[in-house]
């Protein structure tokens, strides 16, 4: 979808059934998604190692459980505000 649609934001889970999610973030950054497009990772079972792995792969933000829609919206808004200077 990211290839065809060129989204303005990517929101994804940190655990995907058939693919390494951090590897997918890295691949999106390398081949598909512009650095201006924020990638927000929603974490089910977060720890410092996972957070670092996703940020190193190119994620813009990493939101831990319990997932709160207000926090997710605020994070997306902050990410877009930070990206406006690029």
Structural domains in the chain (count): 1
Whole-number Å distance between alpha carbons of 73 and 78: 9
Q: Pick the residue with more confidence: 31 or 13?
A: 13
- Domain assignment of residue 53, yes or no: yes
Going from the C-alpha of 12 to that of each of 25, 34, 63, 86, the distances in angstroms are 9, 16, 10, 23
The confidence band for 83, taking pLDDT boundaries of 50, 70 and 90, is low
Q: What is the pLDDT of residue 33?
A: 66
What is the tens place of the pLDDT at every residue in 2-30? 667 778 888 888 888 999 999 999 988 88
Instruction: Supply the range of the domain harboring residue 40.
Output: 7-74
Nearest to 71 by CA among 51, 43, 29, 45: 43
Predicted confidence (pLDDT) at residue 86 exceeds the cutoff of 50: no
- The enclosing domain of 51 has a CATH number of 3.40.50.2300
| 69 within a domain of the structure (yes/no) | yes
């Amino acid at each position: 979808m990211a290839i065809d649609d060129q989204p303005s934001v990517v929101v994804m889970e940190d655990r995907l059934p058939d693919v390494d999610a951090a590897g997918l973030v890295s691949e999106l950054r390398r081949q598909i998604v512009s650095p201006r497009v924020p990638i927000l990772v929603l974490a089910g079972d977060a720890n410092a190692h996972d957070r670092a792995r996703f940020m190193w792969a190119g994620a813009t933000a990493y939101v831990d459980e319990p997932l709160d829609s207000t926090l997710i919206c605020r994070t997306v808004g902050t990410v877009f505000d930070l990206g406006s200077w690029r």
